[in-house]
Structure 1
Amino acid sequence: MNARGALGRYGEDLAVRRLAESGLVVLERNWRCRDGEIDIVATEGDALVVCEVKTRRAGPYEHPMEALTRAKAARLRRLAARWLSERWLGRHGSPPRGGVRIDLVGVVLPPRGAPLVEHVRGVA
């Protein structure tokens, strides 16, 4: 794994920990299909939650929360629909009662000190 991949993996590990602390139940990580990847799929109550994780080192780069463009949001919606169709409906027979939500978890790694992890619900 290269440095970028390790950084992303570390950010996803921190995101999973934050989501679990917030009461979400992680169902799957790094689900891939030909159309792309979902970083984290979880549930919160009756809702299915698709989470995009963006990790950045502190510095002159854009904040991770700025990385969610309209195109990326649209792709996440398509991926969520595909995951629902391929992974959820076969087990449960119907969509989740609480609907599907797309969240963003931004992780900033400062040069010193604890990482900053921000979870924003319903971004797309």
Structure 2
Amino acid sequence: MLQKFTEYVEPFRGCSPLDVRVMDVLQALPQNVQIDFTADDTFRVTLEDFVPGRGWRMFMNLPEHGSAVSRCVVLRSKLADAPEAFSLYIIAHEFAHAYLRNGGWDAISDPEDAADALAASWGFPRP
């Protein structure tokens, strides 16, 4: 898994400490979530590519046959400058969306509330 995690963190290498924060969250996730991400070829993590006046672009894998979604977590570079607790929460929240495939969790049907609750259960509550 460490090799896959290293691949996930690669886009953030020039954006310290965001690279370390992404790795910290990945390593803190429950093993079943880690396996779910690393076994899915459509899952990836990338840095937002926005250029003022030119726009935003992102490359992501197409959903696999029989799947309705492709999972790509896009993070902003300003998370490197944010307070650590907030940054870790946002990263975990976005990973929760990917794990839940932007759906609900248990009795929580709202995707935002579900991602917040799951991130908190992983040890990353909203500050």
TM-score under structure 2 normalisation? 0.34
- Normalised to the residue count of structure 1, the TM-score between the two structures is 0.34
Higher relative contact order (CA 8 A, sep 6+): 1
Which structure's residues are more often helix, by fraction?
2
More strand by share: 1
